[in-house]
Structure 1
């Protein structure tokens, strides 16, 4: 089996929902979840591309059938640990996403948006990954032209009586690079719209065009963050530099431990060039730390931040033991 070097940040946010799942529906979904779990395991762990693709082809209609169960929105599908789930603060919908790995170590993503309906009936938007077929990723698309990824986070903002949902996604991409993605999801006449002119660089020293989607592509075995920081009330991400001085080659980019970000301002995410002041000295490039595959556990997935926190705790414990010995 090919080792999969990605980490899925799973969200099982269960906000207080007005309608409870009927016992009959819960029992039905419990049964269907068992079958879905077996198929989803093979989508990730199948030994060949043919096996993984076949299981995925069976999984999609089985998932849709399960979601047709009345009030299925309130069933968490917690045991489907290979499928990422995000809910906005208002619980008006949820998004499921999952990957399919090809034998050349590239990925295609699949997903659905399930709306929270008052009568418990299914309203679903299937997501069709078009990222491999578009030369320009800075587009505004519907669910048929989705820029496929695994969503690991979502935040909601309101502006002039409209709701804006900022999604954070991850794409393992290929053997050389990976991507973090931020995009705004809106609904127009009840239909999902991905992207829009929301990422502004108007306050930068050197002005750049507004982007419909913000993509951070970097070296495959490096670590870089892109997420909303509630304490700073901003999106914060790693500033990247090239190990080889070739900025155009995304697979050479790594973090220099400096940070940039976006602040929500008048219905847009406005770029902030520098947030903290702890960058490396000019010309010094950090060595990317390869992801330890032994820690990539799809049953208990962890984010890079969580892994780094664990490492820091282990180091602190070692330092404490050394200090105790000296005493």
Structure 2
């Protein structure tokens, strides 16, 4: 029932036509209200309550993100919302979900679980040397994932819903340079060409149901003729002779699956590639891929590598991970995250104090009081 997402679009269109009440409010206070609504989306089983809070959350977020002073505001307290920033600081993207189990029998192995995804792109438009304005673009999920979605160009009103996550070894959403064949260009003569657009590589997860999940890679860019249109997909993924517009991997709910950057051994050298678990069925049944729900890792790895010369992403099978080097980098990353967490913690305390919120020290219980 993706109708929920369509209703949200109509709601946001009406919000855009009214005054932005949040513009006069302290942004710290707005964040606290957003946090309260976001917590309901995860904390209640009542779908109607989730929908109501999601409307309130979405409209308030939509209004707030139009404020230029919100662009560098971290919104750290929105723990259930994925907030990613482009490496070149051109935009931020917010994604979140509502999940609902229609089967009230919690012990049901195959209950009917639905996931509804929502998103907004906060775009930064330069209007001078030291000034900018923000454009907020809602992402409207498709009613269902269509067959052959790997070969479709989508946009913000026909969005492959999901939660985007930050890839390893990057400070933000990776910015890429691609060359690809444009079938609408009769002058291309079948040759790859580079368009003067900025492309970004997105890593996403979609929960589908309680049998299967998908992870995917998608390409995002902005329509040069419409600043409020986001385009998803570019035929740059070469698994075979014919390229795909995005890469999708369907796997079992009960199996782990990794899709992320990692270093692989390329002879005596190491190369950073997008590595993923090779998927197989337990008994290798002869079934169509769309009928398989038990796909899981078989212990080997495949990879996708960016070919800088040709400007496309190419498939490599059965790659060897640079395990020791990856482990060393992961340890460094964990230590850096610890230090970052402490800095963010102190920054959060300072922000709350600036908003006039006094933190109370934890009270010791009687048992801890020398007993």
User: Does the alignment reach a TM-score above 0.5?
Assistant: yes
Partner of 2:231: 193
> What is the CA deviation profile of residues 280-309 of structure 1, one whole-angstrom value per residue up to 9, with x for unaligned ones?
xxxxxxxxxxxxxxxxxxxxxxxxx99xx9
Is the CA contact (8 Å cut-off) linking 2:145 and 2:160 kept in structure 1?
Answer: no
Q: Cα–Cα, structure 1 residues 166 and 277, in superposed 2: closer, same or farther, change >3 Å?
A: closer
Task: Identify the match of residue 32 of structure 2 among 24, 34, 52.
Answer: 34
Alpha-carbon distance in structure 2 between the residues aligned to 1:132 and 1:76: 32
- 1:181-260 residue pairs with structure 2 within 5 A? 181-189=216-224, 190=227, 191-201=229-239, 207=240, 209-229=242-262, 232-246=271-285, 248=289, 249-260=291-302
- 1:1-327 residue pairs with structure 2 within 5 A? 28-103=26-101, 104-118=112-126, 119-130=131-142, 132=144, 134-138=146-150, 139-153=152-166, 154-159=173-178, 162-189=197-224, 190=227, 191-201=229-239, 207=240, 209-229=242-262, 232-246=271-285, 248=289, 249-265=291-307, 266-276=310-320
What value does the CA root-mean-square deviation take over the aligned residues? 2.5
Q: Cα–Cα, structure 1 residues 172 and 243, in superposed 2: closer, same or farther, change >3 Å?
A: same
Is the CA contact (8 Å cut-off) linking 1:95 and 1:113 kept in structure 2?
Answer: yes
Please, what TM-score do these two structures have when normalized by structure 2?
0.63
Please, what TM-score do these two structures have when normalized by structure 1?
0.71
Task: Return the offset for 1:46.
Answer: 1.4
Alpha-carbon distance in structure 2 between the residues aligned to 1:250 and 1:35: 42
Is the CA contact (8 Å cut-off) linking 1:26 and 1:75 kept in structure 2?
Answer: no
Structure 1 SS opposite 2:149:
coil
Question: Which stretches in structure 2 are left out of the alignment for 5+ residues?
Answer: 1-22, 102-111, 167-172, 179-193, 264-269, 323-329, 335-371
> What is the CA deviation profile of residues 125-146 of structure 1, one whole-angstrom value per residue up to 9, with x for unaligned ones?
1100116153332211110001
Q: Cα–Cα, structure 1 residues 81 and 145, in superposed 2: closer, same or farther, change >3 Å?
A: same
Q: Say how many residue pairs are matched.
A: 253
> What is the CA deviation profile of residues 136-193 of structure 1, one whole-angstrom value per residue up to 9, with x for unaligned ones?
3221111000100000023222355542211000111101011111011122314321
* Structure of greater relative contact order (alpha carbons < 8 Å, 6+ residues apart): 1
Q: Cα–Cα, structure 1 residues 237 and 275, in superposed 2: closer, same or farther, change >3 Å?
A: same
Determine which structure has more spread, i.e. the larger CA radius of gyration.
2
Alpha-carbon distance in structure 2 between the residues aligned to 1:261 and 1:180: 14
Is the CA contact (8 Å cut-off) linking 2:259 and 2:276 kept in structure 1?
Answer: yes
Runs of 4+ residues over 6 Å off in structure 1: none
Alpha-carbon distance in structure 1 between the residues aligned to 2:256 and 2:143: 22
